Amino acid sequence: MARHETKTCVRCRRDFECKSGSILLCQCQTVVLSPAQLAWIAARYDDCLCCGCLKQLRGEYAQQRHEARLRRARQHMRGR
């Protein structure tokens, strides 16, 4: 039998339905994340997150990566 439960997002504290027993039907499956993004999120949170927070964190990860690339480019340009 599929296991569904109401969980509280550890980031925003909103309740959502977790379908860990039917993971392909779970709300988190609607958010596409790369292995690097998953690792970055897993390093910060120990439990389930709602899809809204997953989408926000995906954006934060992308922003941090972009800023890191800009810093490296600036450093490279200063080194010339």
What is residue 26's predicted lDDT score, i.e. its pLDDT? 84
C-alpha to C-alpha distance for 23 and 27, rounded to whole angstroms: 9
pLDDT in tens, 14-67: 999 888 778 888 888 889 999 999 999 999 999 989 999 999 999 999 999 999
Q: Does residue 70 surpass a pLDDT of 80?
A: yes
CB-CB contact of 37 with 67 (8 Å): no
Structure tokens at 76: 């490279």
Domain ranges of the chain: 5-78
pLDDT of 74 > 70? The answer is: yes
pLDDT reported for residue 77: 84
